[in-house]
Every structure is written in structure tokens, then in C-alpha cells.
Structure 1
Amino acid sequence: MVNIKHLKAFIALATELHFTRAAERVCLTQPALSSLIQQLEQDFGIQLVRRHTRQVELTPAGEEFRDTAEKLVADFEQAIYDVKTYKSIKRGRLDIAVLPSVCSSLLPRVLKRFNSDYPDIRLNIQDCAGQEIINALNEKRIDFGICYAQSDKEVEALTLIKDAMVVVCSDTHTLAKEKSVKWAQLANQPVIAMNKGTTIRTLIDSTALAQDMKLDIILEPMQMTSAFAYAEAGLGVAVLPSSGVPARMSPGLRAIELTHPVVERNISLLRRRGVALSPAGNILKQYLMEAVKGAE
């Protein structure tokens, strides 16, 4: 059966057109090289080289096969290199999906470090709602996700951070001077809540229902940046997760603890149960854990 040794022997002979020099080129004895060429011809059922007393020449079939053999060997060696560099995290790709609030807070500094250390790893980051992240994970479209979820029989969840719901409002708003705001105080306020289908909105709606209160939701942005802009313009108060509040928020905004009840959530790194992360995925996971620990 033809293998890589046969191909390398044939390429050496096609290059040197001399059995002894070709054998030296691939570190074989001359009889061993001759045997490989004979096996190759027998397997193909066609003569590839013509043997003369002092020289060798390729037959038309040998000339045609030379390009194919060189390509096969090059592809084989490239495949070996790719596997080795993948293991050493010198190349590869990571596909992850992350909640928008994490994209705007924790993730940027982690990605900056990762890109600096592993510039040849291609990162594909999707920011999307929690259910979309879980769907992408179950459909094997991403390596891991970061969102609000718990472990189940399909998904393993590793808690990264715990955040709480806060009120964000303009610094001229009547609530701006409060040290904390109770949910009941939102009953008579125009509220900016994230779009339906997001984990933030689900928490807001379920908490309001549990408190037997109806919120006057006037705006439902898809992006947290829009929620901040609406709040700063004085259109209402935004109910957002603390993880999405930047360390350097606009001076025209205030973030205030939301209490009675305090609504917390665990934001976790999710991966398919029983499926190991790639070497690059493990490094990014490590960087995330270190960033979270350093922020405590």
C-alpha cells in the first residue's frame, strides 16, 4: 500500500535522477530506495522511471505523477505542522458568544491580553442574548459561551461573576441622590428595560411580577449603550446589570443599587458537557478566571 515513504522516495529520485544520490537524500540505502520505487510501480501497475546504467529518467506517467506526489507530501507535512502548532497554541480559531453586558465590561481587557500573547489565534466574538448563546452552544456553533445559565445534563456552567440589578439615571433625576432604590420606587417611573428575550429583561419582568407591580416600560433597546444614552437624556430610569456598568461612566449618569429585593444573577462560562476545550480555549478560560479574581 502506498504511503508517505514511497512518495518521498519517488520525489527524491525524480529530483536527483540517480538512485544513490536519491537514497542519500532521504537517508536510505540504495536497495531500500529501489524497493520502494518498485512497490510504487507495482501498486500503480505502471512504470514511473526508466533505469539505465548510469542514469534514470521519468516516464510520461512518472512526469505527470511527480506534481501530484509533491503536492501530497506538502499537504501531509502541512497537516502535521497544523496539528503541532494547534497544540502549542500558535494558530487556530475560537468561536465564543457572550452577553452584551460582559462584552462591554469584563471581556475587552481579557481579549487585549489574549491577543497580545497569542496573535495568531483568530477570535470570533458574538454578542447576543442568553437563549441565543445556549442555542449556539447546543448546535456546536461556538466553543463556549458566557451568559446567565445553570448547569444541566447538556451544559456545564462555571460561575465567573455574580452581579446585581441597578438603576441608572441622569444626574439630574429625582433618584440620583439616593444611596439605594427600592423596586417599589420604580412603580411611578418611566422605565428603560432591555428588549424582550434578553436575560436582563426576563429578570426584570419576573421580579416585577413577584412584587405584584406593573412597570411603565417606555423604551426597550437592544444595546446597553442605547439604554445609557436614553437614561442620560432624562427619558427614564434604566434597569441594568451591574456587570454592564463601565468603571468610567459618563459624568451625567448615576448607577444606584436596586434593593427590596436585591436581584442577583450568576454569569457563567458555559461549555458542552463532556467536550474538552481546545488549548486556546483553555487559555482564554484561564485569563477570564484571573481577570475575575483580580477584580474582587
Structure 2
Amino acid sequence: MQFQQLRYFVAVAETRHFTRAAEQVLVAQPSLSQQIRSLERELGAELFHRTRGGSTLTDAGQALLPLARRILADAESARLAVQETVQLRRGRVRLGATPSLCTSLVPDVLRAYRTRFPGVDLQVREDGSRDLVRILADGELDLALIIPPPSGEAPALAVTELLYEDLVLVSAARTGRRRARIEDLRDQSLVMFREGYDLRETTIAACRAAGFEPRFAVEGGEMDAVLGFVRAGLGPAVLPGMVAARSGLAVTPFTTPGPGRTIAVAHGRELPLTHAAAALRDTLLSHLAEADRAGALPPGTRLIPARPRPRTGEDGGARGVDAGNGLR
């Protein structure tokens, strides 16, 4: 049974005439009659009483008519729903981002995206980078802004590096120094994030590379809690430059080369991005490219140059670990 056959059947039922029905659906009358005959053979029953003056429904035709109308209506609804999604009048994007990026980069990107595609439902999950990598690999997110794991640790993901961001020291009061050294943290007790935050691992690794184990005044906090603990004077913390610039705290950059991190966007390698998710990724790349051209990237951040794009499959998805950020 084909949608076309049902459409022809409904047209004959409504006009009660094969010729007028053919004119209505813009098909030759013999072709319409042939399709109706084919439908009747498949169903094993005649659908019309055919007379010289017109056609009326048989009992079988009367039973089929409401069902045929419902099937055609559902098919049209499905077509419109898909069309609206493709044209981004509807849809859904599940975005993951680290807490530091949720308070810095993400709001501006989502505002630009929402302006262009107000009908798309945006769902944001805030979590540590390691947790986001796992959640993304499980298919529970469409996109995530993460700190890329070491090469080979997340083979299920396609990762595109975007920005390099300097880390800075923040405190409740100014230290009097223009720049800080990692070694200066040896005799201080830090406010530290909970396990699972890339910032925790990066800070600890930098201290160990300088030859000491860091001490913590308080640990286990989320981003807002860490900022609150620093404001309360419990100790300094190492934060991303984008967050520090908006924190209202005293900011001291580290001497060069200081600690930093790479920010990337990632998605599942095996599943092609939905139209809505691809549009959000494009919005993110365009936002960063425009900010770079205007010299308006946040202080302490640098755009990572685009890498040559590898060959793509039929779904357009990159086959390499890093597809390049697409910025020119």
C-alpha cells in the first residue's frame, strides 16, 4: 500500500468520479484507475461501485476512508515536522560545558544562536570536563565544550581545539605583585575545586612540576563555591582568565610560561550532528572568528589556528581526531 494510492483513493471518494479525481490530483485518469485497481487487489476487495454516472464507496471503501485520511494526515504532519527541523524552526540541542565556560563563553554564544533560531530547544548540562567526555561518549549530549583529554583516551569523540586560555591567580585582595610564579604557591593554602575538574588536575600538575605538593585551605567546591571562598578570604585560587575577568576579584597573571589550558568542542564520532547541533557548532566557530578579527577575544585567550580538514564521509563528519576548527 502506497501513500499515492491512498491519496488517489481519497480523491475519488470525495469527488465520486474518477475523471474529476484525476484532474484534482494532476494525474492522467488511466494512471489513477490503474493505481486504484492495484490497491483493491492488494486489499482483496473492491472499494467503489463504478457506474456510468460516477462512483460510490463499497462497504470496504467506507471502512478504509477514515483510515486513509488519518494516514495521509499523519504523513503530512511528519513531513512538516521534519521540514521545520531541517529549516531550524524546531529542534533540540543538548550542550555540555564546564562550569567555567558556562559563566564566560557559553552565554554569548547561546544568545547569538537563540537570536537566529528561537524555535530550537536548548538544553545545557554543566559538569566537569572528564564527566562531560563520558556523557558525550554515551550519547547523552549532542555537543560539549571540554578540555580535551590526552590523545587516544576518547576514541569515540571527534574533538576540535578552539582556544588556548591562560590561567591566573585570583585572591580577595591585591598581592602587590604584577605577576605571580607557581613557586609562590608553595607557602599558600589554596581554594581547590572538587575532583573531576580539569582545573584541579592542571593546578596540581603545575605545582608538582615546580617541585612541591600544593596545600588546600578548602577543597571540593564547584565554580560558584570556589569564587565565594576566595571572596571570603579563605585563600587564593587558580582560575581561567575568562572567569577571573568577570569575578570582581584581584587578578594576578602568572609569569610566562604560565599554566594554561586548551578549550575544544567535541561530539560523538559515529553519529552525525543534527541540523540544530551543527548550527550551534557553526555559531560557536563564527563567534570566535569574529571576536578574533575584531581583537575582542577575552584577555588571556588565543585562537588556535585551523588545521587542514581531513577527508569526510558521506555524513559530512570528520574522520580525524581533530577536524580543525574551521576558522579562516
Q: What band does the TM-score fall into relative to the shorter chain?
A: 0.7 to 0.9
Separation (CA, whole Å) in 2 of partners of 1:141 and 1:12 = 45
Aligned to 1:282: 278
Q: 1:97-176 to 2 correspondence within 5 Å?
A: 97-150=96-149, 152=152, 153-171=155-173, 175=175
Q: Give 1:196's aligned amino acid.
A: E
Q: Give 1:192's aligned amino acid.
A: V
Aligned to 1:50: 49
Aligned to 1:26: 25
Confirm or deny: 8 A CA contact 2:47 2:57 kept in the other structure. yes
Runs of 4+ off more than 6 Å: none
Aligned to 1:249: 247
Secondary structure class of the residue paired with 2:180: strand
Using the TM superposition, name which of 201-210 and 108-117 deviates more: 201-210
Structure 1, unaligned runs of 5 or more: none
Q: What whole-Å deviation, never above 9, does each CA across 1:47-89 have from its counterpart, x for those lacking one?
A: 2222234243223332232222122222223333333333333
Q: 1:279 Cα deviation (Å)?
A: 3.3
Q: Give 1:249's aligned amino acid.
A: S
Q: 1:73-92 to 2 correspondence within 5 Å?
A: 73-92=72-91
Q: 1:3 Cα deviation (Å)?
A: 1.2
Aligned to 2:302: none
Q: 1:225 Cα deviation (Å)?
A: 1.6
Confirm or deny: 8 A CA contact 1:160 1:267 kept in the other structure. yes
Separation (CA, whole Å) in 2 of partners of 1:227 and 1:64 = 68
Q: Give 2:93's aligned amino acid.
A: L
Q: 1:275 Cα deviation (Å)?
A: 5.0
Separation (CA, whole Å) in 2 of partners of 1:226 and 1:289 = 30
Q: 1:191 Cα deviation (Å)?
A: 1.3
Confirm or deny: 8 A CA contact 1:182 1:261 kept in the other structure. no
Aligned to 2:288: 292
Using the TM superposition, name which of 157-166 and 207-216 deviates more: 207-216
Q: What whole-Å deviation, never above 9, does each CA across 1:231-284 have from its counterpart, x for those lacking one?
A: 111122122222322x4433xx21221347611111111123465433333332
Structure 2, unaligned runs of 5 or more: 298-328
How well do the aligned residues superpose, as a CA RMSD in angstroms? 2.2
Percent of aligned positions that are identical: 27
Separation (CA, whole Å) in 1 of partners of 2:192 and 2:48 = 77
TM-score between both structures, scaled by the size of structure 1: 0.88
Matched, 1:37 2:17: no
Separation (CA, whole Å) in 2 of partners of 1:222 and 1:119 = 34
Separation (CA, whole Å) in 1 of partners of 2:130 and 2:47 = 60
Q: What whole-Å deviation, never above 9, does each CA across 1:177-229 have from its counterpart, x for those lacking one?
A: 32222222223323111111111111122222222323221323442122111
Confirm or deny: 8 A CA contact 2:192 2:221 kept in the other structure. no
Confirm or deny: 8 A CA contact 1:96 1:124 kept in the other structure. yes
TM-score between both structures, scaled by the size of structure 2: 0.80
Q: 1:20 Cα deviation (Å)?
A: 2.4
Q: 1:118 Cα deviation (Å)?
A: 0.7
Q: 1:260-279 to 2 correspondence within 5 Å?
A: 262-273=258-269, 275-279=271-275
Q: 1:130 Cα deviation (Å)?
A: 1.0
Separation (CA, whole Å) in 1 of partners of 2:177 and 2:13 = 84
Q: 1:113 Cα deviation (Å)?
A: 0.9
Separation (CA, whole Å) in 1 of partners of 2:26 and 2:221 = 65
Separation (CA, whole Å) in 1 of partners of 2:74 and 2:192 = 54
Aligned to 1:218: 217
Aligned to 2:237: 238
Separation (CA, whole Å) in 1 of partners of 2:184 and 2:79 = 64
Q: Give 1:270's aligned amino acid.
A: A
Q: Give 2:167's aligned amino acid.
A: M
Aligned to 2:7: 8
Q: How many residues align?
A: 289
Aligned to 1:258: 254
Using the TM superposition, name which of 154-163 and 231-240 deviates more: 154-163
Aligned to 2:206: 207
